[in-house]
Structure 1
């Protein structure tokens, strides 16, 4: 079971220079990058003494939601869904900020691995058959996510089943911080952008989602117990590489930026 610590505004999990894993409250710059971390005892830690930022949670469950922005449906030539399109992603696909997305040997064709910038919801308490009007009471916090997907495995290579294409190791970058619901009063009105090598490739707002965060929690919890620390990825806006014919390749830098949360940065490597 995922151990969730109480926090007020932002929470970050990190490793210090001695290799110790710690949690703290990041003090963010106006551009929402981490400058200083206050540890759980209230001591200030200069960011230069931090070895790495770790994934803020290791989720027991990951639920992805496909086709949740109308413009994305249009760019991939698919109908608007009448119900959320829920896909599962393996927890071991999770990596943190500034860790490498590694394209596996089985997915190294030219037009294969794609980025998907998304808002991720972290569940804070066990729940099942959650009512839509109660759904936000089950939220522990919010973070940035990149729902990396191997498009050929999403299609012919795996019988049009989507889970495998999203579950390769390193295909779920999340972080760098968790933002509390006390900061994000309305998760359905947040600007979201994706940068590929410094160029904006996705730009939207979560108000453009077909299904709200509350509706997604409600639907995913039908007949299914949500566990603390679980992730719900809320779908990606238009501008994915599939529509742009611009897929991830070695040494690319992909960044997911969400208003009031920060920027998740990952580079791309090739499995040898």
Structure 2
């Protein structure tokens, strides 16, 4: 009887020893795993720290945009005698940000325009260059539109024929409405497919027509998409243009009823480049009236 109890206690002790051995083995394995994980994390943390110290997490600078290169396309002055040779602006090193402040002094008052150097740097450079050459001085604003949803005054052709300008032209720039509603100017999509509404005060040029002629829209106008290259926004004196329009039109040399009834002369044009933000648009002191036709 005693020997049976002794054998049972021995078997129980051996079982307990085996359980303790297995537990010790599991504990050793877990320690090795934790040690391996800790070592791996240490390596990762050291690597991340070194990357941080070396600037690896710093924001990467945006690649610099290529500088604007304007191509001034020479025109045949013998084929078109209304073109005036005045040289050409620089092709590079032009202002590409902000706006340029243009003061258009007319015989009826002064109009201020913010030329868009960011979206139309070549157009702004051309107008500024020609202003410095007194190209616009003592020239007429020769065409007034007030039909088919278009309300505009056209200036900048010394010959007043619509064919004149400097002896160069340049490529289209902002002919598609800008996506940024804060851009200058800011046209809006029209309900009619293929057209866009240009807001009152928009200043534009006719693409590939002339390096000098510009058009001021004195009322919201619905125009063909892409017909005009946008160059700026009237920032003061829009009421001066509205009064010119209200006086009506007479026949021009070709018999078209588009010449402003009041003889509108550009006395001087001055352009000061480099304004970082466009001036706030000054509202017209009087509502723009639809001009009367020739009586």
The structure that is strand-richer by fraction is: 1
The structure that is helix-richer by fraction is: 2
TM-score (norm: length of structure 1)? 0.23
TM-score (norm: length of structure 2)? 0.22
Q: Which of structures 1 and 2 has the bigger CA Rg?
A: 2
